[in-house]
């Protein structure tokens, strides 16, 4: 299947259908593999950096091999490739869940909104009030604009469906093991560092896409591109700060601040205009911004695929 056609169809399927629960999803298989390897690490007494690296390489290599072989099946290889491309993108599902949480918060139903927000974030939200939940869902949508869509799309353009799922193997390792805790601090080190490397360019492309989308939507930014870049570097992550800082300044609402993870209070750096809380109006602006930015980045990727013969297919 032509690369441009594959990208167009995958993006459209993602935006229209999201991630149906009934459809088998490869990331669940990767997650199950890491869960099993986590148990194996305990049995072997190997919660070490080398063992963690070997696990990530094994899951990524297996993913690449399975996808590569499946996309070369006679007659159905093209459709299988489309399935793997579509399954690796999650902008549609992200926006749907964000809107669901926003509707509940706007209606004042904090109790019903809390579990929805909890499904989007890794922080503890049990004690969060409405303002904290608004900030949590806004931060999740902004950060995952890269993690769930732009970064997978970037690696789809570079390496086809197999390249996308190599990236997802690393991203899943980071999501499950990439925490500085006694249990996963060493085992998850390689996955976290590899994710930092693979998401480096996409994170900055996401921030640029958000800024360009804001211009197209004629949004009144609360700060300059320089302010965004300065704030982006405050984050402990080399990548997460870029889409979050861009969204904060463009939507005129702050991100960061006191956040609870696993019962531990973490004072995250403030991003964007301080003292401006998220609300329904600002979240609606973020929703439009992320959607338009995602489409713009997809168009850029399609153009690059047509102009750069060194990209997939090789």
| Residue 254: closest CA among 134, 151, 141 | 134
Task: Look at 156 and 313; give whichever has higher pLDDT.
Answer: 156
**Mean pLDDT for the stretch of residues 304-311:** 72
Please report which helix (H) or strand (E) contains residue 256, including its range. strand 255-261
Sorting pLDDT into bands at 50, 70 and 90, what band is 182?
A: confident
Q: What is the pLDDT of residue 312?
A: 60
Sorting pLDDT into bands at 50, 70 and 90, what band is 196?
A: very high
Has residue 313 been placed in a domain? Answer: no
Has residue 81 been placed in a domain? Answer: yes
Q: What is the pLDDT of residue 261?
A: 85
pLDDT at 203 over 80: yes
Has residue 18 been placed in a domain? Answer: yes
pLDDT at 181 over 90: no
Please report which helix (H) or strand (E) contains residue 17, including its range. helix 3-17
Sorting pLDDT into bands at 50, 70 and 90, what band is 13?
A: very high
Has residue 117 been placed in a domain? Answer: yes
Largest CA distance in the chain: 58
Assigned token pair, 221: 């930014």
Q: Which of 91-105, 137-151, 217-231 is predicted least confidently?
A: 217-231
pLDDT more than 90, % of the chain: 82
Q: What is the pLDDT of residue 288?
A: 98
The mean pLDDT of the chain is 93
Q: Which of 99-103, 111-115, 271-275, 277-281 is predicted least confidently?
A: 271-275
Taking CA atoms, 129 is separated from 96, 160, 238, 283, in Å, by: 22, 43, 29, 16
pLDDT more than 70, % of the chain: 98
Sorting pLDDT into bands at 50, 70 and 90, what band is 68?
A: very high
Q: Domain total for the chain?
A: 1
Has residue 35 been placed in a domain? Answer: yes
Owning domain of residue 153: 3-307
pLDDT at 313 over 60: no
Give the CA count within 13 Å in the CB-facing half-sphere of 234.
18
Contact 3, 305 (CB under 8 A): yes
pTM: 0.94
Q: What is the pLDDT of residue 180?
A: 81
Residues shown for the chain: 314
Q: Which of 70-84, 182-196, 241-255, 260-274 is predicted least confidently?
A: 260-274
pLDDT at 125 over 60: yes
Q: What is the pLDDT of residue 215?
A: 94
Q: What is the pLDDT of residue 309?
A: 63
Q: What is the pLDDT of residue 220?
A: 84
- Give the whole-angstrom CA distance, residue 256 versus residue 268: 5
- Give the whole-angstrom CA distance, residue 41 versus residue 43: 6
Task: Look at 3 and 218; give whichever has higher pLDDT.
Answer: 218
Has residue 240 been placed in a domain? Answer: yes
Q: What is the pLDDT of residue 161?
A: 96
Q: What is the pLDDT of residue 314?
A: 43
Assigned token pair, 64: 């690449």
> What confidence tens digit (pLDDT) does each residue in 90-121 have?
999 999 999 999 999 999 999 999 999 999 99
Has residue 263 been placed in a domain? Answer: yes
């Amino acid at each position: 299947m032509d690369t441009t056609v594959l990208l167009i169809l995958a993006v459209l399927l993602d935006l229209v259908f999201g991630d149906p629960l009934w459809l088998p999803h490869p990331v669940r298989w990767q997650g199950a593999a890491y869960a099993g390897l986590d148990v194996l690490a305990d049995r072997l007494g190997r919660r070490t950096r080398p063992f963690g690296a070997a696990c990530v390489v094994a899951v990524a290599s297996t993913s690449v091999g399975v996808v590569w072989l499946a996309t070369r099946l006679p007659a159905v290889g093209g459709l299988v490739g489309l399935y793997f491309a579509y399954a690796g993108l999650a902008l549609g599902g992200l926006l749907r869940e964000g809107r669901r949480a926003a509707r509940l918060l706007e209606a004042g139903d904090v109790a019903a909104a809390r579990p929805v927000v909890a499904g989007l974030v890794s922080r503890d939200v049990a004690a969060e009030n409405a303002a904290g939940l608004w900030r949590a869902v806004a931060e999740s949508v902004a950060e995952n604009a890269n993690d769930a869509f732009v970064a997978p799309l970037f690696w789809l353009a570079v390496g086809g469906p197999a390249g996308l799922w190599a990236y997802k193997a690393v991203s899943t390792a980071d999501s499950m093991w990439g925490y500085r805790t006694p249990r996963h601090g060493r085992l998850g080190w390689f996955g976290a560092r590899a994710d930092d490397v693979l998401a480096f360019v996409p994170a900055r492309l996401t921030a640029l896409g958000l800024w360009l989308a804001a211009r197209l939507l004629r949004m009144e930014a609360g700060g300059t591109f320089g302010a965004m870049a300065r704030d982006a570097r405050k984050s402990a992550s080399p990548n997460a700060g870029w889409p979050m800082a861009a969204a904060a300044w463009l939507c005129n609402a702050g991100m960061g601040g006191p956040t609870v993870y696993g019962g531990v209070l973490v004072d995250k750096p403030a991003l964007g205009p301080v003292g401006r809380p998220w609300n329904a109006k600002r979240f609606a602006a973020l929703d439009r911004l992320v959607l338009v930015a995602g489409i713009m980045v997809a168009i850029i990727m399609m153009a690059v695929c047509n102009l750069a013969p060194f990209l997939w297919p090789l």
